[in-house]
């Protein structure tokens, strides 16, 4: 079977879930010097295992399509504050517990806290021995009904867990490490630059830049890790309510270890997934590693039917607007057979790829030893015109010619050399094969009971979407990027450390109206050294004719990042920069721009930094948008004294136009109408005919409940005169149907 990988956690505020996701909440562990404990009790050592045998088994699974892309070996443990590690107190009474985990030769280590319940004020951090890769803090806001917390991998074969508990804590925190996962091959071990020929035929989504529909459907596909050891692909799906509920479709065998686990606890497994958004190459031909910063974790179990390999989960929170998520449409029609078809997936947990088939497909029986599937319940792609699938692709969607999901990958035998015979379970056969809601798709994807055969896709932030600006994508010359060196007698990089002493650079953009700036993508070549030693500052300026007023400065420390609607915090899990890749830097303060603005970086220690951003080479663009500091003054690169030419830096900001934020329109297709009267500070709610008794709740964007009531009439006006200006979230529950909408006051 073929599996793909999704590693990011989606977050949504609804009445359906009370759990919290794997969201980091700021703070820092004790200083590095204090982590060098001499205590022999700090570390526990994992037993050795036959790594070569595990690699052999994993390789056989890949080749024979018998299993998911497995990258780690699992140890079952029970480490807690009473039986492991070391404990001490600080002068202020803060209680500290540290546990070191050593697993010789591990490329990375991730753990599962099988008991996780913290009092308010407590914090957990995870980091490697050099404290160059840090996760956390995790706090009481990460407590969940499941009482567990999965974590992302930390690089290296030594992991330290550090717990802080205030002296006046309401209760002693419960913290048990129940699983330790030793990565014996890189989670993304088959990344660009490796020797995997399977990638040669699989184009990246950016190769379809001329087709905006492919961009949409690519945004709906995520990479998933399951239980810390395997990976698959999933797709976000819309429903007939168009309410923005983040349903995630994947294959059931991704959750039950290729059907080897009988009667698994799917609720528990769903809570142990981590998803990654926008993990795709920023260029087409010389494919490179994509951004890893947009991650979210944990989901709720909705439905699984092993007889057709269907699994439907619901992410616990709505992905933030700057993730630019998209919920794909779907089709359960069986007689609309016009080409082309497209498959979008993460082979071997690598960056996203797209396959195309121009051949017609047919419903056939997919037979494997591990499971007895329904007859004629899988779409058979007899041949790919472009691309193929691989281990890690399972659960990935098959799109019809109208860009609607028809099915998800169960398995097959395709390779680049032999791109034939892949099998996707058909949504039509998983629609209502059982009367039980937890074994069908219809109950969840058609809550209106509309009996629709097709539903279009949805941008959950369609009223106020985010936009990625780019001076390179506009020229369609992104595949020509280079690192430009200064000519002799000067030395060094034009946009990096050099003998001229220049060390500050910026890329110019102009917006016609006020916009919120969330962050920016930086596309860089390999950076030597560790992220901890990198001293680079990201900057944002305003200015009419040149960078003038500094609006923002912050460290360039790309991290697995996600916005929390609970408290507007975000994860900071520092990543390695040892290969060409794209990184997203999320700004930690609100920035508003209008007219011309400039986004760039300053190399604060130019003597020992290899940091540089790719740029367009000479002759690739007729306009110059790149700037640098010369003798304390900003100047255009087109007027550079040694190398004047028009160019652009590969720095792409993500913005949200302010004018869109006032578009308080109900989402299309919903039976509920909501209108925010900003002049009179009130909210008007119109329920469907003869309906009343809906639960209304109003939240601030940081998750605070502002107002809650039961609507006793079909038409209700709710005064909210005491609200501060800002964006709010309305949630309505009516007859087990949930509706969510953002409004601006």
Q: Give 462-480 as a DSSP string.
A: TTS--EE--TTTTTT-GGG
Q: 249 and 179 in one domain?
A: no
Strand partners, 115: 176
570/568 Cα distance (integer angstroms): 7
* Cβ contacts of 80 within 8 Å, gap of 6 or more: 115, 175, 176, 177
Please write the tens of the pLDDT for every residue from 564-583: 333 333 334 466 777 899 99
Alpha-helix runs per DSSP H in 184-241 = 212-219
User: Of 611, 629, 659, which residue is a domain's last?
Assistant: 659
Q: Is residue 14 part of a domain?
A: no
10 Å Cβ neighbour count for 41? 13
Structure tokens at 114: 């099988």
Count Cα neighbours of 580 within 13 Å in the Cβ-side half-sphere: 16
Q: 285 and 346 in one domain?
A: yes
* CATH number of the domain to which 49 belongs: 2.60.120
- Tell me 442's DSSP state: H
Q: 294 and 231 in one domain?
A: yes
Question: Left (φ > 0), alpha (ψ -120 to 50) or beta: where does 433 sit?
Answer: alpha
Contact 124, 162 (CB under 8 A): yes
Residue carrying the six token digits 């294959």: 251
The residue among 274, 273, 277, 275 whose CA lies nearest residue 322 is 277
Domain of residue 720 covers 664-744
User: Of 435, 455, 475, which residue is a domain's last?
Assistant: 455
Q: 669 and 641 in one domain?
A: no
pLDDT at residue 496, as a whole number: 94
135/25 Cα distance (integer angstroms): 10
Q: Is residue 8 part of a domain?
A: no
Q: 599 and 533 in one domain?
A: yes
- Tell me 7's DSSP state: B
The residue among 309, 276, 264 whose CA lies nearest residue 441 is 309
Structure tokens at 530: 């560790």
Which regions in the chain score pLDDT beneath 70?
A: 1-26, 32-40, 55-71, 185-198, 474-475, 529-533, 559-575, 606-608, 659-672, 689-692, 699-705, 726-729, 731, 733-744
Q: Is residue 248 part of a domain?
A: yes
Q: What is the separation, in whole angstroms, between the first and last Cα of the chain?
A: 50
Q: Is residue 7 part of a domain?
A: no
Domain count for the chain, please give it. 4
Strand partners, 111: 180
Instruction: Give the CA-trace dihedral at 493, 496, 498, 503, to 10 degrees.
Output: 150
Q: 698 and 623 in one domain?
A: no
Q: 670 and 640 in one domain?
A: no
Residue carrying the six token digits 């303060």: 589
pLDDT at residue 69, as a whole number: 64
pLDDT at residue 294, as a whole number: 85
Q: Is residue 191 part of a domain?
A: no
Q: 338 and 247 in one domain?
A: yes
Q: 275 and 149 in one domain?
A: no
Q: 214 and 103 in one domain?
A: no
Strand partners, 105: none
Q: Is residue 526 part of a domain?
A: yes
User: Of 624, 642, 659, which residue is a domain's last?
Assistant: 659
Please write the tens of the pLDDT for every residue from 605-647: 765 578 999 999 999 999 999 999 988 899 999 999 999 999 9
Strand partners, 289: 581
Q: Is residue 52 part of a domain?
A: yes
Strand partners, 615: 482, 649
Q: 652 and 668 in one domain?
A: no
* Threshold 0.85, pTM exceeds: no
Q: Is residue 655 part of a domain?
A: yes
* CATH number of the domain to which 679 belongs: 2.60.40.3080
481/614 Cα distance (integer angstroms): 6
pLDDT at residue 70, as a whole number: 64
Helix (H, G, I), strand (E, B) or coil at 94: coil
Phi and psi (nearest 5°) for 268?
-65, -45
Strands 353-357, 581-603: pairing is unpaired
Q: 728 and 685 in one domain?
A: yes
């Amino acid at each position: 079977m073929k599996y793909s990988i999704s590693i990011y956690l989606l977050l949504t505020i609804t009445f359906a879930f009370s759990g919290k996701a794997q969201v980091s909440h700021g703070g820092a562990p004790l200083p590095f010097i204090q982590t060098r404990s001499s205590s022999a009790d700090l570390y526990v050592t994992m037993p050795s295992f036959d790594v070569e045998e595990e690699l052999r088994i994993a390789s056989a699974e890949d080749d024979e399509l018998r299993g998911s892309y497995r990258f780690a070996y699992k140890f079952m443990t029970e480490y807690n504050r009473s039986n492991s590690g070391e404990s001490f107190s600080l002068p202020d009474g803060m209680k500290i517990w540290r546990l070191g985990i050593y697993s010789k030769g591990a490329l990375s280590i991730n753990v599962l806290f099988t008991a996780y319940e913290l009092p308010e004020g407590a914090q957990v951090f995870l980091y490697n021995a050099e404290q160059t890769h840090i996760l956390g803090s995790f706090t009481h806001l990460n407590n969940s009904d499941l009482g567990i917390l999965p974590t992302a991998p930390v690089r290296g074969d030594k992991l330290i867990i550090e717990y802080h508990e205030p002296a006046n804590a309401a209760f002693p925190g419960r913290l048990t490490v129940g699983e330790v996962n030793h990565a014996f091959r890189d989670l993304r071990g088959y990344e660009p630059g490796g020797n995997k020929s399977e990638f040669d035929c699989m184009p990246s989504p950016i190769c379809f830049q001329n087709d905006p529909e492919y961009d949409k459907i690519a945004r709906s596909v995520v990479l998933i890790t399951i239980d810390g050891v395997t990976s698959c692909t999933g797709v976000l799906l819309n429903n007939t309510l168009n309410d923005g509920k983040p349903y995630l479709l994947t294959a059931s065998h991704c959750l039950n270890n290729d059907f080897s686990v009988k009667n698994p606890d799917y609720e528990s497994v769903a809570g142990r997934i981590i998803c990654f958004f926008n993990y795709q190459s920023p260029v087409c031909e010389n494919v490179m590693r994509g951004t890893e910063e947009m991650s979210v974790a944990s989901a709720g179990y909705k439905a699984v039917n092993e007889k057709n390999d269907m699994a439907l989960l619901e992410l616990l929170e709505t992905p933030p607007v700057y993730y630019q998520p998209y919920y794909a449409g779907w089709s359960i029609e069986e007689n609309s057979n016009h080409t082309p078809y497209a498959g979008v997936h993460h082979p071997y947990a690598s960056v996203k790829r797209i396959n195309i088939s121009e051949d017609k497909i047919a419903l056939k029986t997919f037979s494997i030893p591990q499971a007895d599937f329904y007859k004629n319940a899988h779409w058979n792609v007899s041949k790919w015109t472009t691309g193929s699938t691989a281990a890690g692709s399972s659960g990935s969607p098959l799109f019809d010619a109208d860009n609607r999901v028809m099915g998800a990958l169960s398995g097959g035998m395709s390779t680049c050399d032999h791109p034939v015979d892949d099998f996707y379970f058909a949504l039509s056969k998983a629609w209502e094969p059982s009367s039980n809601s937890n074994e069908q798709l219809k109950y969840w994807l058609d809550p209106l009971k509309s009996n629709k055969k097709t539903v279009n896709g949805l941008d959950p932030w369609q009223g106020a979407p985010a936009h990625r600006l780019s001076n390179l994508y506009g020229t369609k010359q992104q595949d020509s990027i280079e690192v430009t060196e200064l000519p002799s007698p000067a030395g060094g990089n034009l946009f990096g450390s050099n003998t001229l002493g220049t060390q500050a650079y910026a890329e110019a953009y102009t917006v016609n109206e006020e916009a919120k700036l969330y962050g920016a993508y930086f596309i860089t070549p390999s950076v030597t050294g560790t992220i901890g030693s990198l001293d680079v500052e990201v900057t944002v300026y305003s200015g009419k004719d040149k960078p003038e007023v500094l609006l923002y400065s912050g460290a360039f420390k790309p991290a697995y990042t996600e916005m929390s609607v609970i408290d507007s915090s975000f994860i900071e899990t520092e990543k390695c920069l040892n290969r060409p890749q794209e990184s997203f830097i999320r700004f930690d303060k609100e920035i508003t721009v209008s007219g011309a603005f400039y986004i760039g970086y300053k190399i604060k220690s130019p003597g020992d930094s290899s940091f540089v951003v790719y740029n367009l080479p000479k002759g690739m663009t007729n306009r110059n948008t790149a700037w640098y500091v010369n003798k304390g003054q900003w100047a255009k690169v087109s007027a550079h004294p040694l190398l004047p030419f028009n160019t652009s830096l590969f720095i792409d900001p993500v913005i949200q136009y302010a004018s869109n934020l006032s578009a308080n329109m109900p989402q299309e297709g919903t039976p509920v109408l909501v209108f925010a009267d900003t002049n009179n500070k009130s909210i008007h709610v119109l329920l469907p005919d003869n309906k009343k008794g809906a639960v209304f709740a109003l939240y601030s964007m940081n998750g605070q409940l502002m107002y809650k009531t039961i609507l006793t009439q079909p038409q209700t006006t709710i005064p909210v005169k005491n609200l501060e200006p800002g964006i709010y979230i309305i949630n309505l529950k009516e007859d087990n149907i949930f509706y969510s909408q953002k409004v601006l006051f």
